[in-house]
Structure 1
Amino acid sequence: MSDAANKTPAPKIILDLVARFRELEKDYLKGRYNETQLRRDFLDPFFKTLGWDMTNESGHAEAYRDVIHEDSIKIKGGTKAPDYCMRLGGVRKFFVEAKKPSVKIKDEPDPAYQVRRYGWSAKLPLSILSDFQEFAVYDCRIKPKLSDKASNARINYMRYEEYPERWHEIASVFSKDALLKGSFDRYADTKRGMRGTATVDDAFLEEIEKWRNALALEFKRKNPKLSARNLNFAVQLTIDRIIFLRICEDRGIERYGQLQALTAGPKIYERLFDIFRKADDRYNSGLFHFSKEKDRTSSPDELTPRLKLDDKVLKPILKGLYYPDCPYEFSVLSADILGHVYEQFLGKVITLTSSGARAKVEEKPEVRKAGGVYYTPTYIVDYIVKNTVGKLLGSPVNGAEAPVAPCAPAGRLIAEGESSDDPSREGAGRYKKQGTGRIPSPLTPAKAADLKILDPACGSGSFLIGAYQYLLDWHLNWYTTNDAESHAKGKQPKIYRDRRNDWRLTVAERKRILLNNIYGVDIDSQAVEVTKLSLLLKVLEGESEETLQTQQRLFHERALPDLSSNIKCGNSLIGPDFYKGKARGMFDDEETYRVNAFDWQAEFKEIFSRKNPGFDAVIGNPPYVDSEYMKQYSNKERDYCTDTYSSASGNWDLFCVFVEKIHLLSRQHGFASMIIPNKLGSAEYASSIRRLFEKSYSLHTIRDYSKVPIFPVAVYPMVFVSSPTPAKRGHMVLLERMERSGSGEPFIEGSHTLCYEDYFSEEGQPWRIFSQIYEGSPVAKMSKSFPPLQDVAEVLGAATVSEAYEIKNLISEYRGEVSGCLRVVNSGTIDRYQALWETASLRYLGDSYSKPIIRKTALPKLPPKRLRQAQTPKIIIAGMTKRLECVGDTLGIFVAAKSTSIVLPKINIRYLLGVLNSRAVAFYYNSTFGGNRLQGGYLRIGPPQLRMIPIPIIETEDFANEPQHEALVSLVDSMLDLHRKLPEAKTDGERTMIQRQIDATDREIDQLVYQLYGLTPDEIRIVEEATK
């Protein structure tokens, strides 16, 4: 598997195992020698030699043990779960499926199909099939088919006699040390790209989308009076119920094959409801709720039991869920994969044709505009949960990474092997002082019950699943490390021992934690149901029919909670005052349902009526919806937000308002954290929310993921953790820059602790965090010491989009016409100090020009404002460059086309031109507006950013006659003269000489501008280093 030059010799224990197997091979090949014996005698020591803690000798909590040995519950076609699940930090890495030696692994297709189903369903790249006699590695990214041969997707095979010579091939990839060093991931990457790859989430999404289409058409055909809203409800709930029960079957909680058995007779839908009603009796979940009950606030489902559905739709759906036809192994289908599938699934909605007679499935408009739905990766969820829920709980799970905080030596990079989540860097909350850092006081389960965790845009529930899992792990760890036996006794035990003698939380305790701690809201009723489904499956994770029955007898209650009081449907941003002063007749039923106004105080009365009201942690990934979309599809809601939220100013994006809202919903000393576009820190439309961060909130940490392709669209994300209380003077913020490793995993490229006032607190201006951070940076000094460009010049955008098309119709090629025409330039034909009008072609709205002009006869057709600007002395600045590129037009002969800015100075144009083209200004711009950087390192440059550049004006009565002013003007004159001479040079020697003079003059200008800004030698070194 790896280069033979780096061979690892086989350890003695492997040689001994090989010798023992060879000696007794005939006995082992007899059918009486079973899998259990094989695992104990050979595979357990085999993988222990590879560094895996096979029996949890290290004493890790269940969530963090190296190896999970699955109970082999036999079902039709094979075992229920793989024999070994090998993990790092609680994350699955690969499966090992064991077979008794009498099985011919090399040739028999069934065992290969089985292990590939496991690995593919769990979305793992590789898995192993072995009976010790044979060792086979399979690429589990290739969708398994029943007709596949044993050799399909097999990427390595060896027999036990080869282990001594080929041990390095195994150890270099599958040892625990190899996984920690990334060798496993690199090896898996080298095998990527084989034909037939199809991820389980994509395939399962395609499957349930087919179900939706078929169910929607048939429900509507058989029940023609169904409205679009009720049709969506019926289809979604039917799919959710089937998936829930099928997963429970593969987990051993429900009788295997009960859904499949329905296909053997008629009236499948009616008999399916018999199973649903039994599930209601057993689980008490809102998923199965068909009659009113005392103490249940949610309304029962009175719609779907009365509907009719033809067998021809349900039969293929139910038959396709079972081995051998089904490629999915539901027992290993994780909540993360299910969430990914549903996130995409929720991007479409069932609508009715104009006649109302037929159903069809369409992409939601906001999804269509965004180019799809994009699921938040698990590592982002985990980071946010650890740094909010983890901080609140105050102690890490089983010694796992503790939450991040902003207390570390300023500007220090993370050392190799050090985690940014090191406990010594703990942040805000309830704290005990400890040196310069602050360590939170750990809670007890009784106090943890008061914590309220919210996702106000919960979607498929990924953040709530992550928070719930963290709470489960924390509680189990607390109980097992604080006199475990005492918590396993009494009428309400918290933990019990399973078949493997490991401690587990009781289902009653898992329910209690869920109901006490987890809350979610989403405007989409289908998303709410999916979140409930995901959480309910998490409650039952690891349970079996036997353990559920035992606990139900003990606790005298049904297995699952009703989540209707925790997970609610509503518009997180729009309250009931939306209708204030408006006649109800203005809104029809459909618009009322679409707006879905939500009263936080009424819906979560206990949370907002307690002392210090609000949620302890508000987390998530809000929708990114721009102003253009809202004006088109939700103008009334946009107007409401503009009137209600401080952050909704200008052409704001919806995520800005969500950021404000989560702070309004958080209680004092609580935490707010989201993944959002890094435009929060740089865009003009986000200036109002930045002002709130300056005045009302405290930032604790920022992780910049600009260099990590989290989403498959051009969104450059960041994660922030903050609190809804103003930052005190001297407050420090931890900034971590993330990079992607060769295997695709994100890692911390560098870390800095930054003073709040220097980087985040300047009246809504962009945060100075998106370029390289330098200790002693002069950016703040430059801003505070000199006036912005807007005080000494008028800064304007060039042509608008509509004007750009008007100008295009007036452009023609220069053919030696008489004077009076205007030359046309845009970003591609602007360089520092010169327009490339004759030397570079101009691309403009699909056409190309060598010497584009607007003839004198066409000038009256120009927009009057643009004509005046063209004929006025000015500076034109390119709109997309790696540093500012400014050209002066002292004669008024250039029209600045689209994607440029123009500056009409109130001071000497050449003085200002020299300043703007200097390295000092390039450094300032990159440091301040790096968040606008696009792929390739290009910066988007526009008037809002340019207006803020500080300009060194000497406050004297006769500034224009000051020596430094005169010197800079003279140098710029020289520079302009040299640029005029350069294209006229006849020989290479002449061109080289002039270019050297240009470079020397440029350096002189830079040195003079440093003096004008008053930069020290150390500050100059920083600028030079950053701009070289």
Structure 2
Amino acid sequence: MQLMNDTSHKTQIQAALSGFTAGPLADNARHLLRVLGYESDRTLTINPNTAQGFLARFNTHGQLNPEKALLDEWDTFELLFQLTEDELNILIPRRSRGTAPRAPLTTDATTPPIYHSYLFLAVKLRGNAYSRNALANITREVNKRFAMPAMLLFQHGQTLTFAIIHRRTNQHQGERDVLEKVSLIKDIDIVNPHRAHIEILSDLSLSELHRAHSITDFFALHQAWQKTLDSTELNKRFFRELANWYFWAVDNVTFPNDAGDDVAVRNATSVIRLITRLIFVWFLKEKDLIPDALFDEAAIAKLLHCRRVLPVSMPPADSTYYKAILQNLFFATLNQEMNTPEQSNRRQFREEGQPHDTALYLYKRYFREPDAALRLFESIPFLNGGLFDCLDKPDTAQPQRSRQVDGFSDRDDNPLRVPNELFFADEHTADLNAVYGTKNRRYTVRGIIHILNRYKFTIAENTPIEEEVALDPELLGRVFENLLAAYNPETGTTARKQTGSFYTPREIVNYMVDASLHAYLKDALRLNIYEGGGSADSKLAHLLAYTDEPHQFTPAETEQLITAIDSLNILDPACGSGAFPMGILQKLVFLLGKLDPGNAQWRQRQLDRVHSTIAAAEQIDDSTFRESTLQELEREIASINEAFERNELDYGRKLYLIENCIYGVDIQPIATQIAKLRVFISLIVAQRLDDTQPNRGVRPLPNLETKFVAANTLLGIEGQLSLRSPEISEKERQLEEVRRRHFTARTPRTKERYRQQDKHLRTEISALLAELGLPSGTAQELASWEPYNPNAVADFFDAEWMFGISEGFDIVIGNPPYVRADAPGQQALRQAIKDSAQYETLFGKWDLYIPFIERSYKLLKPGGFTTLIVSDAYCHAKYALKSQEWFRENSRICRLDFFRDIQIFDATVRNIIYLFQRADGSEHQPERRVHAPEFGSVNLLQTDAQQNLTHRLFFPEDTEIQPFAVPTVTLDTICYISVGMVVHANKQARGAFGVRDLVSDVRDETHPKPFVEGKHLARWLPATNKWLEWGTERAPALFTSKTFPELYEAAERLISADMAAGIQKLKVSYDDRHLRHNQSAWSFTLWHDLAGVRNRAIKQKARYRDEKPQRPELPQRETLEETSRRFSVKFLLGVMNSTVARDFLMANRRSNIHIYPDDWKKLPIPDVSSERQAPVVALVDAILSAKRADFEADVSALEAALEREVAALYGILDG
């Protein structure tokens, strides 16, 4: 098969698309597929070629659902052709395969699902636009009728959509397939196709697939299609381009000083905000809410007064585009209500002499025709929601000036600079080597408008069953979590990276969401007396599964489930950019769609809630506030009816789930902003545009400031908010009502009024609490919390004060940060956590996720569920023991999912997912699952009643290696085990040198000490060594950690590399050369070789009888030294390199990533005489001699003999 020129091929694709403007569907579709390399004369004429013809020929068993298939919308149906092995042989010749007998076209749905063919079908629909869900439903219904996969090509109006379905064999009904995800290339414009669509179609051409994936059969073809249509690669490609642009931009912008004192942090934060707003706008453009002309350089260049470099471009160094177009779009358009015949001056330019107002258009002098600019903006609806609130505010200290953050000002002294080239520059090279830590690498950048134009965006988030081949709103989360966080001024790393967070993959989010909702809904059914036939578990699993099959619950149970969903309060305590809140929202919307397809019950529940609130409001003592509240509530009833009547079915589901059920907290304000943004997009996609209605039918977005808050989840308040008086209860009712009103407030003036009322009520309540005994500092802290400041972070989190939730949450779900005890910049937080006295599970050098686990549990109401994904160090780490014990005794451990062999995140960490319930678990049997070799492939581990289980419950191994049947002593009673030196500059030297500055390949006067790192160590002997600077002004005096010199002066000792937990052959080396080493290796020194050495390090592990202060719980040095004299170093080397030692460490290690010194300490050593040690010592001597003579010497026979000797000493018999 000959590969054609790439440009020529894309031109042919574009020409084939334009052919759909006229002529028969079948001819046009076959021609396009022929251009893509797919053709066959194995076809079938459907007569008539309509929905009725399709039904007559293929729906013989009546399985197709005509409503889901939208049969009434079908204009034409064509079976284009069947592609079989025969055609594949011709289109992609294979040397090693003969030609099979030619078979007729087969479409029998009873044919076993062994795929040796594909069907290509085409459907012309009568309408112009269809949702992704509608097209996916048609694809599923049609595929039900065929034994082989059928690819559908839809024509609707002036656009095409390709739909490909993924199928797998039904494990329970082998003759039927399970229809899984539908992938769509949607809305391809046949007249003016997006370049991204042309590129996707080119990538799907048979020639390109064969070049990239070596197609040999239909299985390979199907896999190649799946990979090509996987949006993951699309996201990665986009991220790489955007990352380069980001690092280029932060060095070429200037923002006002009020945006932050540190220039790097100020620029990073401001550029993040710019990207956030601009990408959000790009999604709005997909909804046809914003005209393309605003991003057309030629059109804008003609609109503005500027020195045009070319007729179609603007001066690269000027900032006219950002100021005149984007800032006016953000602040004076999307954040300002549209003009109406009654109020035609809402959107207008600020005139000379008018006071500064960020709700008015600025930079009038930049425009050739200001009225033309107004016409360009006039059709854009008002969105609200806070994302486009200008952050420039009056300075309370100096009323005559404003605090400039966004820099939306047409004053001449405005320092704002965001050059036009950042938006419209053509591709060129930029030196980003310093950013990426590379040398002489070539990086390319281009204007961000050009980047965005290169990709197709979809406003609907992809789901496990529907995926459009385009960038969906989830990419905002991925971009943020991986890159776009403000620089940490101390480390130069991104803040999110510094706080140890990782973006949680969608399939993990879905898995955890399903598990928690299953448990919650099962409890709701049980509490309401489940009476249905069949098990609740199986029915709930069926309900939660992304299928189009009807649910299996009775009407009474259905009502119970809808009530449970409406009553649900769910929190993500470290929400980041909203992966879990969005996952929960999507799944709850899906469940409501199954349980209540027409929204009758869901709508009524929202109306009932308002009626209940009206009844409560009638009890408010303040007559003025009572009457205004009742009026607002009456309007709310009309608003609810409008929400359901004028929008897609999902809109009412989403809006009231967001208002009443879903909450998020994160310590980074920009994270909560992006989480809110994703919620906004999900609401916009479910709205119907109607240009005959005010604001084009777009319901302004809710205000989510009291749904997603920036706060420190780990620190609660001091004292009890449970202190109550009638006056406090009255004020709290008023505060709840004010926040409910603010949620739907539309105009900046109305929002500000409710914010001031909120502040006033907070101050009054905190003062009343102080009168009742709440500490004054706590009362002041409560009053000063400012939820409406997008840059503020609360130093505490209190669910009642911030969300009005006093009884706790039903579900707490998330992915907390993984931050080590020694991570930079964490000491103040760790100390505050300890000082808070709110935690019972902190122990040793705990990782930050330890308090997150406890805090998440304590935020639950009784019976609530918490599920977090954390590092699997929780299974083995010493610091986790107290936490494990506490939860065994105080919770119900519902499920543990182990991922020891699966890498979920890009980082090296492995993970565990737990599901705990705030309930008694003593007689409950936890479910323990290991996922291997891939996520979702589950093996169940042994379990027992929780009260009978030990800490081994948290180990992913089935069984623990039991104590050996021979006397043993642990290695730490024979050897002092220590990590090596930290060989880089200490704090006083401020990074003046590192290990590379201190080592040499040759020995000289400056570098007299032999030195190794873990990478230099091998099994038995070091592979090589370097020479370490010593005795100079800086070495070792200025090392971060020198360790003590006697550690390296023993005549012989052992050194182990820092090894991966899954290593097959342990690497312990013999040292008789006094080798120094750094922290990448561990030393094992016989206790008696350190006799008389007294220092702080050793005193933490053992003490002599005469040492003060006495520590009775520590071992006595005299005993340890006496024990160590009984053992030969070479005997220990033989044991430590054995498979017995390896197996013990594998089963008992603290982490699935590394083998740590604490793991070695527990290794049992056979307590045998020197005579019984002698055979092992002799074999080790022989191995060492062979290795010294020839490091590559084959010592496998000696090692085999050694293994037998060691096994015998442990009492392990062959077989």
TM-score normalised to structure 2 length: 0.53
How many angstroms does 1:461 deviate by? 0.9
Residues 575 and 515 (structure 1 numbering): CA distance in 2 closer, same or farther, change over 3 Å?
same
Query: What is the letter of the counterpart of residue 900 of structure 1?
Result: W
User: Following superposition of structure 1 onto structure 2, how do residues 89-104 of structure 1 map, counting pairs within 5 Å?
Assistant: 98-99=154-155
The answer as to 2:44 corresponding to 1:15 is yes
Query: What is the letter of the counterpart of residue 480 of structure 1?
Result: P
Take 1:224 and 1:996, find their aligned partners in 2: how far apart are those partners?
A: 68
The structure with higher relative contact order (CA 8 Å, sep 6+) is 1
How many angstroms does 1:42 deviate by? 2.4
Aligned twin of 2:1141: 921
Unaligned runs of 5+ in 2: 2-37, 51-69, 84-104, 110-120, 144-148, 164-180, 209-213, 305-323, 339-358, 360-380, 392-401, 425-446, 463-470, 526-534, 546-556, 608-636, 720-774, 986-993, 1088-1122
Take 2:498 and 2:1147, find their aligned partners in 1: how far apart are those partners?
A: 32
Aligned twin of 1:366: 495
User: Following superposition of structure 1 onto structure 2, how do residues 252-263 of structure 1 map, counting pairs within 5 Å?
Assistant: 254=289
Q: Report the secondary structure of 1:700's partner residue.
A: strand
Unaligned runs of 5+ in 1: 2-7, 22-34, 54-65, 104-110, 117-122, 135-139, 159-168, 292-300, 354-360, 398-406, 408-417, 427-439, 741-745, 816-820, 848-852, 934-939, 954-959, 1012-1016, 1022-1028
Q: Is the Cα–Cα contact under 8 Å of residues 910 and 1152 in structure 2 kept in the other structure? A: no
How many angstroms does 1:893 deviate by? 5.9
Take 1:925 and 1:523, find their aligned partners in 2: how far apart are those partners?
A: 38
Q: Is the Cα–Cα contact under 8 Å of residues 128 and 156 in structure 2 kept in the other structure? A: no
The answer as to 2:408 corresponding to 1:307 is yes
Query: What is the letter of the counterpart of residue 676 of structure 1?
Result: V
How many angstroms does 1:789 deviate by? 3.4
How many angstroms does 1:970 deviate by? 3.6
Aligned twin of 1:1003: 1204
Aligned twin of 2:714: 573
TM-score normalised to structure 1 length: 0.61
Query: What is the letter of the counterpart of residue 1005 of structure 1?
Result: V
Take 2:1141 and 2:200, find their aligned partners in 1: how far apart are those partners?
A: 65
Q: Is the Cα–Cα contact under 8 Å of residues 247 and 331 in structure 1 kept in the other structure? A: yes
Take 1:788 and 1:224, find their aligned partners in 2: how far apart are those partners?
A: 56
Q: Report the secondary structure of 1:466's partner residue.
A: helix
User: Following superposition of structure 1 onto structure 2, how do residues 97-112 of structure 1 map, counting pairs within 5 Å?
Assistant: 98-99=154-155
User: Following superposition of structure 1 onto structure 2, how do residues 85-484 of structure 1 map, counting pairs within 5 Å?
Assistant: 85=136, 98-99=154-155, 127=185, 144=195, 152-153=202-203, 155-156=205-206, 184-189=222-227, 199-200=237-238, 202-203=240-241, 217=254, 220=256, 243-244=279-280, 247-248=283-284, 250-251=286-287, 254=289, 268=325, 269=327, 273-278=332-337, 285-287=385-387, 307-308=408-409, 326-332=453-459, 334=461, 337-345=472-480, 347-348=483-484, 365-367=494-496, 374-394=502-522, 443-480=560-597
Q: Is the Cα–Cα contact under 8 Å of residues 246 and 271 in structure 2 kept in the other structure? A: no
Counterpart of 1:797 (choices 976, 979, 983) is 979
Q: Report the secondary structure of 1:676's partner residue.
A: strand
The answer as to 2:899 corresponding to 1:720 is no
How many angstroms does 1:457 deviate by? 1.6
**Range moving further from structure 2, 375-384 or 693-702:** 693-702
**Range moving further from structure 2, 227-236 or 598-607:** 227-236
Take 2:933 and 2:1043, find their aligned partners in 1: how far apart are those partners?
A: 49
Take 1:380 and 1:229, find their aligned partners in 2: how far apart are those partners?
A: 32
Residues 548 and 513 (structure 1 numbering): CA distance in 2 closer, same or farther, change over 3 Å?
farther
Q: Is the Cα–Cα contact under 8 Å of residues 1145 and 1155 in structure 2 kept in the other structure? A: no
How many angstroms does 1:460 deviate by? 1.4
Residues 974 and 761 (structure 1 numbering): CA distance in 2 closer, same or farther, change over 3 Å?
same
User: Following superposition of structure 1 onto structure 2, how do residues 754-765 of structure 1 map, counting pairs within 5 Å?
Assistant: 754=943, 761-762=950-951
The answer as to 2:549 corresponding to 1:520 is no
Take 2:303 and 2:947, find their aligned partners in 1: how far apart are those partners?
A: 73
The answer as to 2:1163 corresponding to 1:949 is yes
Counterpart of 1:870 (choices 1049, 1052, 1055) is 1049
User: Following superposition of structure 1 onto structure 2, how do residues 1007-1026 of structure 1 map, counting pairs within 5 Å?
Assistant: 1007-1010=1208-1211
Take 1:240 and 1:450, find their aligned partners in 2: how far apart are those partners?
A: 32
Q: Is the Cα–Cα contact under 8 Å of residues 241 and 287 in structure 1 kept in the other structure? A: yes
Deviations 1:839-897 (A, max 9, x none): x433578x9xxxxx99xxx99999894336532665544443644455677xx764463
Q: Report the secondary structure of 2:796's partner residue.
A: coil
Q: Is the Cα–Cα contact under 8 Å of residues 528 and 568 in structure 1 kept in the other structure? A: yes
Q: Is the Cα–Cα contact under 8 Å of residues 876 and 1151 in structure 2 kept in the other structure? A: yes
Query: What is the letter of the counterpart of residue 842 of structure 1?
Result: N
**Range moving further from structure 2, 648-657 or 750-759:** 750-759
Q: Report the secondary structure of 2:77's partner residue.
A: helix
Residues 345 and 732 (structure 1 numbering): CA distance in 2 closer, same or farther, change over 3 Å?
closer
How many angstroms does 1:696 deviate by? 4.0
Residues 571 and 916 (structure 1 numbering): CA distance in 2 closer, same or farther, change over 3 Å?
same
Query: What is the letter of the counterpart of residue 515 of structure 2?
Result: N
Q: Is the Cα–Cα contact under 8 Å of residues 49 and 76 in structure 2 kept in the other structure? A: no
The answer as to 2:819 corresponding to 1:625 is yes
Q: Is the Cα–Cα contact under 8 Å of residues 706 and 716 in structure 1 kept in the other structure? A: yes
How many angstroms does 1:462 deviate by? 1.4
Q: Report the secondary structure of 1:457's partner residue.
A: coil
Q: Is the Cα–Cα contact under 8 Å of residues 797 and 901 in structure 1 kept in the other structure? A: yes
Q: Is the Cα–Cα contact under 8 Å of residues 95 and 127 in structure 1 kept in the other structure? A: no
User: Following superposition of structure 1 onto structure 2, how do residues 956-975 of structure 1 map, counting pairs within 5 Å?
Assistant: 965=1169, 968-975=1172-1179
Q: Report the secondary structure of 1:794's partner residue.
A: strand
Deviations 1:745-799 (A, max 9, x none): x44264434458799844xx99532xxx45xx45255599976433454333344
Aligned twin of 1:561: 702
Counterpart of 2:1021 (choices 814, 830, 836) is 836
Deviations 1:533-591 (A, max 9, x none): 211221233331249969999xxx95543322211121212345599999999xx9999
Q: Report the secondary structure of 1:277's partner residue.
A: coil
The answer as to 2:818 corresponding to 1:636 is no
Take 2:604 and 2:908, find their aligned partners in 1: how far apart are those partners?
A: 51
Query: What is the letter of the counterpart of residue 651 of structure 2?
Result: V
How many angstroms does 1:467 deviate by? 0.4
Aligned twin of 2:858: 664
Aligned twin of 2:1107: none
Q: Report the secondary structure of 2:673's partner residue.
A: helix
Q: Report the secondary structure of 1:469's partner residue.
A: helix
Residues 942 and 512 (structure 1 numbering): CA distance in 2 closer, same or farther, change over 3 Å?
closer
Q: Report the secondary structure of 1:731's partner residue.
A: coil
Deviations 1:684-733 (A, max 9, x none): 55555445444444443343445444333333334333335575267333
Q: Percent identity?
A: 18
Aligned twin of 2:1077: 897
Take 1:257 and 1:823, find their aligned partners in 2: how far apart are those partners?
A: 67
The answer as to 2:817 corresponding to 1:653 is no
Take 2:41 and 2:605, find their aligned partners in 1: how far apart are those partners?
A: 42
Query: What is the letter of the counterpart of residue 574 of structure 1?
Result: L
How many angstroms does 1:512 deviate by? 1.5
Q: Report the secondary structure of 1:480's partner residue.
A: coil
Q: Is the Cα–Cα contact under 8 Å of residues 201 and 341 in structure 1 kept in the other structure? A: no
Alignment size in residue pairs: 819
CA RMSD between the two structures: 6.9
Query: What is the letter of the counterpart of residue 789 of structure 1?
Result: L
Q: Report the secondary structure of 2:978's partner residue.
A: strand
Aligned twin of 1:703: 897
